[in-house]
A and B are shown apart, each in its own frame.
Chain A
Amino acid sequence: MSRNQPLISKGVDTLMIWLYLLLVGIGILAIFAVTYREGDPVAGSFLSFKTDYSKQLFYFVLAAIIGVFILVTDSKFFTATANIWYAFGILLMLLVFPFHSNVKGTESIIRFGGFQFQPAEFCKVSVCLALSKYLSRPDTDFTKGRSQLIAAAIAISPALLSILQSETGLALVYFAFFLVMYREGLPPTILVIGFSVAVLVIATILMEPNTLAIILTVIAGLAAWVMRRQIRRRKSVLVSLVAIWLLCVGIQRFAVPFIFQNVLQKHQVERIFTLFGKENPYTGIPGELVEAGAKKEGVSDYNVKQSKIAIGSGGLLGKGLLNGTQTRYDFVPEQRTDFIFCTIGEGFGFVGTTLLLLIYLFLLFRIVIVAERQRSAFSRVYAYGVASVFFFHIGINVAMTVGLAPVIGIPLPFISYGGTALITFTILLFILIRLDADRQMVLR
C-alpha cells in the first residue's frame, strides 16, 4: 500500500452511487411494505433472512461487496476480458438446457443449494461488454453491413437462447442494444423499418385482415400515384414498391399469424391481445386448448386490472406506506417482483410515482452524459448499453403495470425483489462507474 496508490474514490461519479443507493433503498422499503405484517418485529426480521425484505437487504450487501470489488479492479481488466465474459455468459446459458429447474413456467433458471440463478439476466453484462469491445475495435467499421450484422449477432444470440428457454421477456431486453448501435451509427432506416413493422403488427392485431389488406393496397396505390414521375423514369421504383406491398401483406397475412401460432407461447399471445383489449383469435382447434387459453387470458387480464386498481387507488398523494389495501393484501400478483411499482403507486400516489420516474430519468440522463464524456469508445458504448438496458427495463416494466405494454416479466431495476437482478444491475452500473473513473484513459 504505497501513498501513490490512487484512492478507490478517485474519479468515481458519486452522484450515480447516491442515485443507486436511493433506488435500492426505495426498493427495500417497497418490498417491506408488501411483505410486512402487523406485529412482525421490524428490526429482528430485517436481520433474520427469513422475510423478503431482509433477503433483499442481504442481496444488497452482497451486491455492494461486488460493487466495491469492481471499483478496485483495473478498468483494463474489463476491456481485456470482455470476450471471455461473453463466452462465459453464453456457456452459462447453454448450461441451463441440461441443468435447469422448472420455476414458474420458465426454463431459464439454474438452482444450486438454496439459490436460484438466471443466466439470461447475467448475460446482459456479457453482451454489454462484448458489444463495447467489438464496436471499439480499431478495425471495426460500423458503417459496413457486415459489422452491423456481427454486432446484431452478439446482441441477439443470448436472446435466441433465452427464447428457447421460454423466457421471452428477458429476450426482449437484448433488443435494447439496437439503441446503442443506433448511437454508434446504425442507419436510422433500420429503426424506421423496425418501427414500421411494429405498427404493422399492431395493426394486424387490431384490424380485420381484409380491411388491413385493402388499406395497405390503398397506401401502395397512393404512393405509386405520388411517385408516378419516378416510376415513369425508372421501373425499379415500381418493382420495389410492389415488393414492399407484398412484404407488408405477407407479414400481415402469414408472418404474424405464424408467429402467434407457432413461435410465441399461448400465454404470451394472450397478454399481447389483452393489452389491446382483444380476444385471442389464434386459440388452437382442440377444445381443451381453447379453454386453457381462455383461462390464461383471464389471469393476465386480472394482473393488469388489479395493478391498475392498485395504482389508480393511490390517488394524488397515496395512502401512505403500509396503508395500501391492494398491495398489502395480495390482490396484485407478483407484487414484490414484477409489479413492485404498484406498491409505490398505491402508497405514494401520483407524486410518488412521478418522483420515482424522475429519479430514473435523472439516472438515465446522467449515464448518457457520462457516456458522452468518455474518451474511449469502449466506455461510451458500454455506457449506452447500460442506459439502454435500464431504459428498456424501466419503460416496459412501468408501462406494463399501468396497462400500456403487455405483461412481460422483467424486473424494475434496483427496486424489484430478486438477487440475480439486483446483482446484475449493480455489476452493470459499477463497471460503468469504474470505467468512468478512468475516463481520461483510452481503453481498448
Chain B
Amino acid sequence: MSVFNQSRSYIIRIIFLVTFFVIIAQLFNLQVLSSKYQQLAQENAVFRKTVYPPRGIVYDRKNRAIVNNTLIYDLMVTPSEMRNVDTAYMCQLLEIDTADFKKRIITAIVKNGRYRPSAFEPLLAPEKYARLEENMWRFGSGFFLQERPVRTYPYNAGAHFMGYIGEADSGIIARSGGFYQPGDYVGRSGIEAFYERILMGQRGVQYLIKDNKNRLVGSYEGGEFDSAALAGRGVRTFIDIEVQALAEKLMTNKVGAVVAIEPKTGGIIAMTSGPNFSPEALTGTNFKKTYSKFVLDVSRPLLNRAIKGQYPPGSTFKPLGGLVALDEGLITPGFGYPCGGRYYACGIGKPACTHSGGGHAANLRLAIANSCNSYFTHVYRMAVDNPRIGNHKDGYAKWKDYMNAFGLGIRLGVDLPSEDKGNIPDTSKYNKVYRNVWSSCTNLTLGIGQDMMTATPLQLANAMCIIANKGYYYTPHIVKNVDNETPQDTILHKFRKKHEVLTHIPDSAYNAVIWGMQDVVTNGTARAAAIPGINLCAKTGTAQNFRFIGGKKIELNENSMFVCFAPRENPKIAVAVVVENAGFGSTAAAPIASLLVEKYLNDTLRPESVKKAEAMAAKNLMPSILKREQFIADSTRAYEWYRITHDSSYIRKFWRRTAEENKPRTDSADKKKVDSPQKQKAPERVVYQKLEAINPDQKILYPRKQPIPHVA
C-alpha cells in the first residue's frame, strides 16, 4: 500500500510549497513593496501634540510692557475617568444645573471621545477658578485644571492697533497651507496679526503614542523627534502708552480717530479710533460676550478709523495745496488773492469763505493762517491749468502725482493689516463722471480738500510729517524693533527706508507754509490749541459730513479735523485728529491734538490742561443718527430672523414699542423714533420725519459698510 499512490506525496508537497509561496509573495508585497502601511501605522499610533509657547510681549517706547501674558485656566474632563464626582457641588460652583452638566459631558464625549480630555468649562473666570482649585479633590481624577496663556493689557489701552488673538478660522487655516490647525490661536488683527510669526514664537511638537482607544500611553521613540517650543519674541514699539491712554480717554464717546507720529522716524506714538474699547474686552472669557456686540453695533467700534476711516481732509489739506503751487513756481510766498468772501472766478460764487476782505489772503502765510477758501481754490486751479503743461487734464494728473507723493490716495504700508488708501480720483474718474467735459472749475473744491478727495487720519498725520521733515518721510509704523533680531527678520526693513518724496521742494517754500501754520495757532483759527513754550504748527479743518439712510442723504454736523506738528524748530510729533460730527476743527479736534502734543513733549499736563482734558473726555459727541441707524439695523435683522425662522422673539421687542397695536409695525416704529425726545439739531429732525418706513425687503442684516462721506 505504501508504494501505491506514492507519487501523490509529491503533489501534496507541491500544494504545500505553492500555498506558502503565495503567502510569502503577499507578505513581500505588504512589507517590502508597499510603503503606505508604515504611514498608516504612524497615523494609527502616533499622536502629534503641539506645545504652545507663550506669545511675545509688546513694549512701548519706554520699554514698559503694554501687552503681556497671564494664565487662565480651563476646566477639563476625561469622561472615562469620572468617578466619585460631587456633581451637585460642581454645578453649584459653576452655576449650572445638572441637566447642563450631563449635556456638557455628552458634548465632550461626542467631540473628543471618552478617553481624551475635553474642555468642560473653558477660560474660567478668576473667582470660579479660585473656588474650583480649592475643591478639586471633590471631583475625582476625571476633572483637572489646565492652564492656558491669555493676553493681558497692563495699561488697558491700545485695543485698535494691538488687535486681538482668536482661534484660527477655516480661511486662515486654508491660507496657511497647513501651518495652523483648528484650535490654534492666531493674531486676528492689529500688530498681533501683522507680527504673528514673531509674536507666536515656534510651536513645539511632542510625538506621543496612542492606543486603539486614543489614550496616550507614552512618548514616541523616547522623544527623539520632539522639538521644544520657543517663546515668542518681544517687540519694541514707538507707542508712548501714556499718550495713547490719554488719546483714548479724550476720544471716549466720540467717533473719529487720532494718529500721532514721530516725524524723524515714522514711528507711531499713539493711534486710536473712536468709539474705542478696552483691549481686555476681547480676551479670554470676555471675547464671546463682547465680540458679537461690537459687530452688531452700527458705530462699529472694531473699525480702526485711523487707517480705515476715509474723511475729506477739508482745510487741513490747504498747506499741501500751497506747497504744490510753490514748487511748480506758480506762486511765490508773497502771492496774494483778493478774496471778498466768495470765490467768483468760476462764476458760481462758491466756495464761500469765512473771512471777507481785510487782506486776509494777502500772502500765503496769511492765507493759511486765515484758511482762505478762495485763495486755495485759486491756487488749485492754477496748478491744474498750469501754463507750462497747457492741458487741464495733464495738469490735474501732475497735481495728483503730488498728492500721491504726499502719501494721499495710496496705501502707506503701515504695519497693520487692511489699511485703506483714501481717494485722490484719477483723471479717468472725472472723465467718466463728467462725460469728458470738465475743467478746473468742475472740481475746484479739491483745492480745499473736498470734492471726491478723502484721506485717512494716518495719511493726514504722515503728510504733516513730510512738511515737518521738509520733504521726506518714513513709512509710519508701530514696531521699532524685534528682540533678538536676525537678518532673516526682513519684516521691518521697509520701515527703515527713507522716502525722499518731496525734498526737491525748496526749504523756503516749506518755511512759508510752516510759518503760516504757526500763525494758525498764534493768531489764526486754532488759537485755543496754543501751548505755552511750544511752537505748534497746525491747521484746522471742518468738512461737511453726510450719511445716506434709506436712500436719503442726511446732512450731519461737520467733521472736526485738526493736523499739527511741534515744535516748529525740531519737530518731534505730528498729530492728525478727526472727530466726526463735532463741528469746527477748533472745537473738538484741536484741543485733543494740543493736549496730546503737550503730554508727549512735556511728559505731563499743566493743571489747566488736565481740566481741559477731563472736560473733553466727558463730552459726548456720538452722532445722534447712530441711534436711528441702530434701530433700523436691529429691527431689520429681527425681521429677517422672523422671516426665516418664524421665531418672533426678536421682532416682538420692536412690536412692543408700537403706540397703536393695529398699525403696521414699521410705521409705528418710525413714529416712536421720531417722537422720542432727543437733543438733535433741527435739520436732522426734519430729515427723520421725511424718512420712509422701513422697507422689509431692504436687507440690512448686518451693519453696512459706512458710506464714504461725499461732498457734492
Contact = CB atoms under 8 A, between A and B. Distances in A.
A391 B17 CA distance: 10
Contacts of A349: 31
B6 A312 contact: no
A123 interface: no
B26 interface: yes
Given A309-B44, A312-B40, A361-B20, A353 B31 contact: yes
Contacts of B16: 361, 364-365, 368, 391
Contacts of A311: 27, 30-31, 37
B4 A185 contact: yes
Nearest to A391: B16
B22 interface: yes
B432 interface: no
A404 B22 contact: yes
A260 interface: no
Contact of B31 (A315, A357, A398): A315
Given A315-B38, A331-B45, A357-B20, A375 B2 contact: yes
A286 to B, nearest CB: 29
A374 B1 CA distance: 11
A119 to B, nearest CB: 28
Most buried by B among A38, A185, A314: A314
Contact of A183 (B9, B17, B40, B41): B9
Contacts of B28: 350
Given A357-B20, A380-B2, A329 B211 contact: yes
B437 interface: no
A377 B30 contact: no
Nearest to A329: B211
Nearest to B217: A329
Contact of B13 (A357, A365, A395): A365
B130 interface: no
A372 B9 contact: yes
Q: Per DSSP, are chain B's interface residues mostly helix, strand or loop, or mixed?
A: helix
A179 B8 CA distance: 10
Nearest to A314: B31
A313 interface: yes
B2 A345 contact: no
Contact of B37 (A179, A312, A377, A395): A312
Contacts of A310: 41
B300 to A, nearest CB: 52
Contacts of B41: 309-310, 312-313, 325-326, 346
B45 to A, nearest CB: 4
Interface residues of B, number: 41
Contacts of B30: 308, 311-312, 345, 402
A377 B3 CA distance: 11
Interface in A161-200: 179, 182-185
B387 to A, nearest CB: 84
A403 interface: yes
Interface in B346-378: none
Nearest to A330: B212
Contacts of B20: 357, 360-361, 395
Residue among B9, B31, B37, B40 with the highest chain A CB neighbour number at 10 A: B31
A316 interface: yes
Contacts, number: 123
Contacts of A308: 30, 37
Interface in A348-366: 349-350, 353-354, 357, 360-361, 364-365
Interface-centre pick from A329, A345, A364, A404 (highest chain B CB count, 10 A): A329
Given A326-B41, A375-B2, A404 B9 contact: no
A395 B15 CA distance: 11
Contacts of A387: 12
B45 A325 contact: yes
A399 interface: yes
A368 B11 CA distance: 11
Contacts of B209: 325, 329
Max chain A C-beta neighbours (<10 A), residue from B24, B41, B42? B41
A391 B23 CA distance: 13
Contacts of B26: 399, 402-404
Contacts of A353: 24, 27, 31
Interface in A295-309: 306, 308-309
Given A312-B36, A326-B41, A350 B46 contact: no
A354 B23 CA distance: 9
B689 interface: no
Contacts of A309: 37, 40-41, 44
B154 interface: no
Nearest to B30: A312
B486 interface: no
A85 to B, nearest CB: 23
Given A309-B41, A315-B38, A330-B211, A398 B23 contact: yes
A372 B1 CA distance: 11
A30 to B, nearest CB: 16
Nearest to A402: B26
Counting chain A CB atoms within 10 Å of each CB, the highest count among B2, B15, B27, B42 belongs to B27
Nearest to B26: A402
A312 B12 CA distance: 30
A240 to B, nearest CB: 27
B64 interface: no
Interface string A313-335: 11110000000011001110000
A371 B5 CA distance: 13
Contact of B5 (A185, A345, A399): A185
Contacts of A374: 2
A354 B5 contact: no
B13 A183 contact: no
B5 A357 contact: no
B31 A350 contact: yes
Given A387-B12, A391-B16, A404-B23, 7 more contacts: A309-B41, A312-B30, A312-B38, A313-B38, A325-B46, A357-B23, A361-B16
Interface of A: 38, 179, 182-185, 306, 308-316, 325-326, 329-331, 345-346, 349-350, 353-354, 357, 360-361, 364-365, 368, 371-372, 374-375, 377, 380, 384, 387, 391, 395, 398-399, 402-404
8 A-B pairs closest in CB distance = A312-B37, A313-B41, A325-B45, A329-B211, A350-B31, A312-B30, A330-B212, A402-B26
Interface of B: 1-2, 4-6, 8-9, 11-13, 15-17, 19-20, 22-24, 26-28, 30-32, 34, 36-38, 40-42, 44-46, 209-213, 217-218
24 contacts: A179-B15, A182-B8, A183-B8, A184-B5, A313-B38, A316-B32, A325-B45, A326-B41, A329-B45, A330-B213, A331-B44, A350-B27, A350-B31, A353-B24, A354-B27, A357-B24, A357-B27, A360-B20, A361-B16, A368-B12, A387-B12, A391-B19, A402-B26, A403-B26
